[in-house]
Structures are given as structure tokens and as C-alpha cells.
């Protein structure tokens, strides 16, 4: 029982809310970046310009995934080890010039990244962040606004036509206090719901961006 009520005093509860709210703008940014980059790169493949564009999208997706990994580790305390993208250095024959060695190294690194499971699960994760971010944002806004409206009813019930939670028009103090008595337990329930949602998103991040055990 103490665990149920102590949720309001734990700083992690409010860090979880921050994490859920950040998912909305980040999800939109990832979605726009991937859709724009992939569509433009695929459309320009016929003139070869699309190849470097798609390569930049691939590199950008790795950077976004690393940012998400760090964000989840720092805010949600999830244990997600950093995963390297592949070979950063490639041995080449001494008879090759610097430009040729650079091209060979870039090609081998690209093949290594394309064969890496995390390249594709990471990109899928970034796409999934868009609907997850919308859902998280809507849930946080609804829970916080409804809870705040219920608890604060005695302070505004007398304004205009009174408070209207949707099922009962409140225009007397005792009615507002009844609504407050409903809002207080709802506050604790809302915090637990948002904590659970943040926990699930943290585990989802760990599965999609972490090593397979």
C-alpha cells in the first residue's frame, strides 16, 4: 500500500513524464527525416544521386538510435550497452591510393551496417516512435489535465456556469469537494499508469536497440 502512495514523492515518476512528453516531438522529427530522406534518395537512384542520400539517411538513423539509447539509459535507467556499427578501419594493400582505400573502407563499412540487425530494428524503432509519441503525449495530457481539473475544482467551480467534468455540472462548493475527492486517488493512479507506460517503452527500446542475449 505504501508503494502505491509513495509514487508521488519519487522523482523518477516526473522524469518518466518528461520522457513520455519528449517522445512526441522526437517521433515527429524521426518520421519526417526518414520519410523525406528515403523518398528523395529512392527517387534519385536513377541518376546515382540517391545513393549518398540513402547513405546519409542510414548514418542519420544510427545517430538517432544512439541518441534514443542514451536518453533511455539516462532517464529510465535501462541497461542498454552501446553497439558499434561495424568496422571503422579497413586494411588495404599498400599499392592502393588514399582515395581507393577510402572507397573500399566505406564500402565494407556499408556492407557491415546493412548486415547488422540493429540497422533495421533501429530504423523500425524510429518509425514506431511516431505513433508511440502521439499516444504517450495524448495519455499524459489527458491524465494530467483531468486530474488537475478534478483536484482544483474548488478554485474555479464558481466561474461562469461552473465546472463541468462531462457528466455533472458543478456549481456548489460541496460538489467541487466531491470532485476533488475523486481527483486525489486519480492522481496516484495516473502516476502509476504513466510509470508503467514509460517502463514498457524503455523495455521496447532495449529490445530494438540492444544486443540480443
Domains in the chain: boundaries: 8-209
Measure the CA–CA gap between 193 and 191, rounded to whole angstroms.
5
Residues in the chain: 213
pLDDT at 103 over 60: no
User: 81 pairs with which residues across the strands?
Assistant: none
CA 20 remoteness from chain centre: 7
54: helix, strand or coil: helix
Q: Give the tens place of pLDDT for each residue, 163-210.
A: 666 667 777 788 888 889 999 999 999 999 999 999 999 999 999 998
Rounded to two decimals, the pTM is 0.82
Q: Give the tens place of pLDDT for each residue, 30-68.
A: 999 999 999 998 888 888 888 889 889 988 999 999 999
Angle formed by the axes of helices 173-209 and 117-151, to 10°? 170
User: 163 pairs with which residues across the strands?
Assistant: 170
Amino acid at each position: 500500500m505504501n508503494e502505491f502512495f509513495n509514487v508521488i514523492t519519487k522523482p523518477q515518476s516526473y522524469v518518466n513524464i518528461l520522457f513520455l512528453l519528449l517522445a512526441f516531438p522526437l517521433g515527429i522529427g524521426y518520421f519526417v527525416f526518414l520519410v523525406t530522406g528515403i523518398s528523395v534518395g529512392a527517387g534519385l537512384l536513377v541518376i546515382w544521386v540517391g545513393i549518398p542520400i540513402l547513405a546519409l539517411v542510414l548514418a542519420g538513423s544510427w545517430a538517432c538510435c544512439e541518441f534514443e539509447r542514451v536518453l533511455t539509459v539516462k532517464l529510465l535507467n535501462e541497461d542498454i550497452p552501446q553497439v558499434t556499427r561495424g568496422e571503422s578501419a579497413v586494411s588495404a594493400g599498400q599499392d592502393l591510393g588514399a582515395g581507393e582505400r577510402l572507397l573500399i573502407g566505406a564500402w565494407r563499412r556499408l556492407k557491415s551496417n546493412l548486415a547488422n540487425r540493429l540497422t533495421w530494428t533501429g530504423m523500425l524503432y524510429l518509425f514506431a516512435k511516431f505513433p508511440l509519441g502521439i499516444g504517450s503525449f495524448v495519455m499524459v495530457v489527458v491524465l494530467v489535465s483531468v486530474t488537475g481539473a478534478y483536484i482544483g475544482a474548488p478554485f474555479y467551480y464558481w466561474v461562469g456556469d461552473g465546472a463541468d467534468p462531462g457528466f455533472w455540472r458543478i456549481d456548489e462548493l460541496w460538489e467541487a469537494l466531491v470532485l476533488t475527492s475523486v481527483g486525489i486517488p486519480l492522481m496516484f493512479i495516473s502516476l502509476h499508469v504513466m510509470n508503467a507506460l514509460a517502463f514498457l517503452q524503455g523495455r521496447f527500446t532495449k529490445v530494438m536497440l540492444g544486443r540480443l542475449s
